[in-house]
Every structure is written in structure tokens, then in C-alpha cells.
Amino acid sequence: MKKVIRILIVLAMVIIGILPVVVAYAISPPSSTPTVSDMHYNRNLLETGDILLYGEYDLPYDPVPTTASAAQSFIFQLIDTDNATELGAITPFVFFDNGYNEGVFGMYFAPADNFTWGLSYILRISQNPAQFASPTSEDYLIAPTAFTTKTSQLDNQVELAINVINLANELEQIYTTYTLLDTAAGGTVLSSPSGETYFRGVIYGLQLMAPSLFMVQVLEYDTSYRTWTTTNTDNYSARFDATWVGASENATMAMFDMTQGSVMAIIFILPLMIGSIVVTTMKFRKAEPGFIMCAVLAMLGLLMGWLPAAIFATIYQLLGMYIAYIWFYARG
């Protein structure tokens, strides 16, 4: 009897496996046709040749579905001019109304994606077959006016920031319970957390593409190797060549048999430095103000070509050592 029961169980499992699967679709079709509007293209935002497409969408639902989010139900596709080749695809970022109704989308293309600037591509809103019994799609031709006329990185970043602020203003009027914008010393920025959370989710890398939109700025340090040269100091030393000042310097150099920077430092810079230390010591009973004047005079002397670079560097090293002495030893 047990063998018969086992055989019946196996047969039941086989029959269930070959029966047609009945799919329980999650949501009904939207209340009206989904649309996109206010689309923009910006370029050279992170690197030369990159492109960002962004704009508004509307997936109208009343009531809003709760069994599946818009990210599970709809796909935004950028289609080539042949009406078949997919260039890129995203899903809505879920924040307001489970991702349905009004929102913003963004699609980023790196230079390697071979995006052709200026072509009228197609934005397609497709229904996910896993959620709809009879999935459909809507195509929208992107107008040439969506392409920015700006070319530099700075101009494109500024334009992107302005467009995002406009989009945030529109969403604030729709979703009145959310605050998406805030005011900072430098102007209007995305609020924290709602504004920053939403638009950073919609446009990945937005904080680097449009830093002015954020209260806290993210800056990239230049860590590349730098080769230091004496080009500037060489130019400073030749500042008065072919002038009457240069002729006078050459005559003085010949008289004392010294280099240009050395002789001019002895005649002008060194007396001024000593004088500033003496005067401040007599006037204020301390030499520190005179040392500050020496630092300024050393910079002016270098710019005039009247102080050798080696002496300039030595003076600043001595000043640095003196400051270290004041901070770490004299106050102990």
C-alpha cells in the first residue's frame, strides 16, 4: 500500500509540473496613457563626451498600486532611430506614490557608449510582462531642442543644476508634504534628506555632476605627480631685462662682482627686513610683527627678482622652524 501511495504522489507531481501555469498579474493598466515631458540632454558633466538624458514622467494611477512598485512594473528605454535597437534602459526610482504618477527619470551615458549627439532618439515606456496581462508600450520622439547648446563642463553643470531646481519646484507643488529644496548661503540647494535622496536616486552621480545643488560639496583632490620647476623664479629674475632698471642692475652687479639677486637683496630687501625687526622690537617690545613683515618682504623681493630662490626658501624654512618653536616649546 505504501508503494502505491508513493507512486501516486510522484504521478501527481509530474502532472502538476506539466499543467499550464496560470499567472496572477499584479496590477491593472494605468488610468490613462503614460507620458514624458520637459526632457533635456547635457554633456561633458563628468568627462568629455558623456551625456545625461533626464526629464519628467507621468504613470497615472488612481488609486496607487501597492502590490508592485513602478520599478517592478515599468521600464524606460532609449531606442535608436531604427526603432529597434536599445541604447539604454532604467526603471523609475521609487519615492513618491510607490514610483507612480509624476516623477523624474535620468539616464547617463559614458563616452564609450557611442551616443550620437543631436540625433532624435525615442524614449519608450514599456510595461513589464510579469505585471500586466497585455503589456503595451508608448514611444516619444525626443525633440532636437532637448539638446543643450552649452559645451563646457562648467556651463553644463550650471544648466543641469538650474533644470533640477525647476523639476524639484514642480514636484513640490504636486507632493506638498515633501520639501525638496532649501536655501543656503550660496543659493538654492536640494533639501536634506528628501531632495538629496530623491534626485541622487534618480540621477546617479548627481553630486559630482552638479555640486552646487548640495549644501555639502564634494571635491576631488588632484593626487597626480607634479614636477616642480624654477620657471616662475627664472621669469621673475628676468623681469627688468632690456630696461633701464636692468641696465642699472647689471652695472651694480659688475661693481660688486655678485649675482643680480644677491646684490639687490643686500641693497633693498635685507635692510628692510632688519629695519622692520628693529622697529617692531622697539615699538611693541616683541619681534614677531617684524618677522611677519620679513615674510611679506621676502615674497615681494622674489616677485621683483631681487631675492634668489635659494635664499627665499631658506628664509621661509627658518620662519617655519621659529613658528614650530613657539608652538611646541616656548609655550611649555
Residue 76 neighbours by CB under 8 Å, 6+ apart: 57, 89, 90, 91, 92, 105, 107, 123, 124, 125, 126
Dihedral of alpha carbons 288, 289, 294, 295, sign: positive
Pair (185, 119) in one structural domain: yes
Calpha distance 302→307 (Å, rounded)? 5
Residue 182 lies in a domain: yes
Pair (178, 255) in one structural domain: no
Pair (243, 189) in one structural domain: no
Pair (240, 184) in one structural domain: no
Coil, strand or helix at 190: strand
For the cut 80, the answer to whether the pLDDT of residue 32 exceeds it is: yes
For the cut 90, the answer to whether the pLDDT of residue 199 exceeds it is: yes
Pair (209, 236) in one structural domain: no
pLDDT in tens, 56-101: 999 999 999 999 999 999 999 999 999 999 999 999 999 999 999 9
Residue 75 neighbours by CB under 8 Å, 6+ apart: 89, 90, 91, 125, 126, 127, 128
101 or 332, which is more confident: 101
Calpha distance 317→89 (Å, rounded)? 58
Residue 237 lies in a domain: yes
Nearest CA among 135, 124, 127, 154 for reference residue 53 = 124
pLDDT in tens, 130-165: 999 899 999 999 999 999 999 999 999 999 999 999
pLDDT in tens, 313-325: 888 888 888 888 8
Pair (139, 275) in one structural domain: no
Neighbours of 8 (CB within 10 A): 10
Contact 302, 233 (CB under 8 A): yes
Domain end call among 213, 245, 278: 213
Calpha distance 308→310 (Å, rounded)? 5
pTM above 0.75, yes or no: no
pLDDT in tens, 249-288: 888 888 888 887 788 888 888 899 899 999 999 999 888 8
Pair (206, 246) in one structural domain: no
CATH number at residue 60: 2.60.40.150
Pair (131, 194) in one structural domain: yes
What total number of domains does the chain contain?
2
Calpha distance 213→196 (Å, rounded)? 9
For the cut 50, the answer to whether the pLDDT of residue 22 exceeds it is: no
Which residues constitute the domain of residue 107?
Answer: 35-213
Domain end call among 179, 213, 247: 213
Distance of CA 67 to the CA centre of its chain: 36
